[in-house]
């Protein structure tokens, strides 16, 4: 439950239907037993009849059912690293990736280095709900989105949402909404009839879709992805094979079309989409923190919907960062494209014809002995890429984003050819660390140059950036927009 101070803010947000708070808290109505978003179009209940919850899982665990009018499953999410302990953040990330679908509570706690009892206590303290309740709400909301927005058979939705059986799926839906899955679908219509599966993901506003497209367009890998101001397309590799994803901005949401993605992979792919396009960033908090610096305040005025672009493939991003050491973004992208076309996994004929894409970026196993020098890559960088590929393949270097950043930095920077800039840039985009900061980056130094053009030292930049914590990644993006730079 929120504090009394939070409750007074939530009361005002509920009465005003303030969209800035959508997804940040939920309203349990004691007279109906339903929980709603603060933007629910229904007549606001009397304050004496409501309870406020910081998460949908907490409302569900308290016995409230999701509202069918405002549909809590369609609210923007809250980022896992926002306002929680490190252990809870890592736990949330693992749950998002299906950790509790594959194993139990004790195994999750063991991965996080705590006891199951302590992990539950941390979750209840920070989120108002147990890990199992968080996982249950995630499955429930994703299943409801698939019921409403797709024509997938119910058995496939049960698999996609992580239910062990169709019976468990049916029971969970009926308990939550007092209707069967089929009855819910009839209420919303028959869904789509397209070649792919299309979902709509809400984002926190303001949101600079055009800036994201420009960022990706400057780094597009021919054959792997294509970008323009209206559409982003990408070939991706999942546990079940190769597929494609297409995104466009439509009426204040991201419209996502997935092709050749198996039901069991859908949740993971959708979670990656949300990371890559940073849809859940608490942009109001970020803007308030960074606007205290005059240089960043001016950049925020020009780019109020700034986001940190994520990556589809963490290994690919690291390879591209290595290629980008001391060369232009364009040159590094050209070299990465050659690697993809030579060693990538090809799409099937149908996928090529539909999307115009050809390959996915190669897995580490394909590059640990690759003769990259034949592609125009200098010997030292080719050797570094092979060393990183071998380390990832053997497990010496983990690309698991739930691992402590200190462990990744230690393992990564001990590899010959890897310096601080490459490591921080990997944290910033591949691991979505909101406080990563490549202080020695030339674009950042140029953006912070004095009136005479003199660039500050990296140590001076680090000292200045202390006031930007914990949002230094977003500060980096703002500074790069001023110079047109960025890794």
Tokens 């592609």 -> residue: 375
Could you please report the per-residue DSSP string of 212-273?
HHHHHHTT--TTTEEE-SS-EEEEEEETTEEEEEEEEEETTEEEEEEES--HHHHHHHHHHH
What whole-number distance in Å separates Cα of residue 485 and Cα of residue 481?
A: 7
Q: How far apart are the first and last CA of the chain?
A: 42
Helix (H) / strand (E) element for 42: namely none
DSSP class of residue 20 equals G
Angle at CA 468, nearest 5°, toward 462 and 474? 100
Which one is catalytic: 22, 36, 249, 313?
A: 36
Which residues, in sequence order, are bridge partners of residue 257? 198, 246
What whole-number distance in Å separates Cα of residue 350 and Cα of residue 245?
A: 14
What whole-number distance in Å separates Cα of residue 83 and Cα of residue 69?
A: 29
Name the E strands within 106-231: 197-202, 225-227
**Does residue 440 contact residue 468 with C-beta atoms inside 8 Å?**
no
Phi and psi, residue 458, nearest 5°: -60, -35
Which one is catalytic: 208, 278, 313, 441?
A: 441
Q: Mark whether 213 is an active-site residue.
A: no
Q: Mark whether 36 is an active-site residue.
A: yes
**Does residue 357 contact residue 235 with C-beta atoms inside 8 Å?**
yes
**Does residue 478 contact residue 306 with C-beta atoms inside 8 Å?**
yes
Q: Which residues are tagged catalytic?
A: 36, 441
């Amino acid at each position: 439950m929120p504090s009394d101070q939070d409750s007074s803010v939530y009361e005002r947000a509920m009465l005003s239907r303030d969209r800035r708070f959508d997804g940040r808290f939920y309203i349990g109505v004691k007279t109906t037993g339903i929980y709603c978003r603060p933007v629910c179009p229904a007549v606001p209940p009397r304050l004496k009849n409501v309870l406020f919850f910081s998460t949908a899982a907490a409302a569900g665990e308290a016995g409230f059912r999701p509202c069918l009018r405002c549909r809590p499953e369609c609210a923007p999410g809250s980022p896992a690293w926002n306002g929680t302990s490190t252990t809870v953040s890592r736990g949330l990330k693992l749950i998002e990736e299906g950790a509790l679908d594959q194993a139990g509570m004790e195994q999750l706690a063991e991965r996080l280095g705590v006891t199951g009892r302590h992990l539950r206590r941390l979750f209840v303290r920070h989120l108002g709900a147990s890990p199992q309740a968080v996982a249950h709400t995630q499955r429930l909301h994703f299943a409801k989105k698939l019921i409403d927005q797709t024509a997938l058979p119910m058995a496939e939705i049960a698999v996609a949402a992580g239910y062990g059986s169709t019976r468990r799926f049916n029971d969970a839906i009926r308990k939550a909404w007092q209707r069967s899955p089929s009855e819910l679908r009839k209420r919303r219509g028959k869904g789509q009839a397209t070649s792919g599966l299309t979902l709509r993901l809400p984002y926190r506003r303001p949101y600079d879709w055009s800036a994201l497209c420009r960022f990706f367009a400057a780094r597009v890998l021919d054959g792997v992805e294509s970008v323009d101001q209206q559409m982003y397309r990408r070939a991706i590799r999942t546990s079940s094979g190769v597929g494609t994803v297409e995104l466009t901005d439509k009426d204040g949401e991201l419209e996502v079309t997935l092709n050749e993605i198996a039901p069991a992979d859908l949740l993971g792919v959708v979670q990656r989409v949300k990371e890559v396009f940073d849809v859940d960033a608490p942009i109001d908090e970020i803007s308030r923190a960074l606007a205290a610096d005059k240089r960043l305040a001016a950049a925020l005025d020009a780019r109020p919907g700034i986001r940190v672009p994520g990556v589809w493939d963490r290994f690919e991003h690291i390879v591209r960062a290595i290629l980008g050491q001391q060369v232009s973004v364009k040159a590094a992208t050209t070299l990465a494209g050659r690697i993809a076309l030579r060693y990538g996994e090809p799409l099937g004929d149908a996928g090529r014809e539909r999307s115009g894409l050809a390959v996915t970026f190669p897995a580490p196993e394909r590059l640990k002995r690759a003769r990259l020098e034949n592609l125009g890559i200098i010997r030292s960088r080719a050797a570094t890429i092979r060393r990183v590929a071998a380390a990832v393949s053997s497990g010496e270097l983990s690309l698991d984003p739930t691992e402590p950043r200190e462990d990744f930095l230690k393992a990564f920077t001990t590899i010959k050819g890897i310096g601080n800039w490459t490591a921080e840039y990997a944290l910033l985009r591949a691991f979505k660390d909101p406080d990563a900061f490549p202080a020695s980056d030339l674009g950042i130094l140029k953006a912070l140059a004095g009136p005479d053009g003199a660039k500050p030292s990296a140590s001076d930049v680090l000292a200045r950036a202390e006031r930007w914590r914990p949002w230094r990644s977003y500060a980096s993006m703002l500074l790069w927009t001023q110079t047109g730079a960025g890794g």
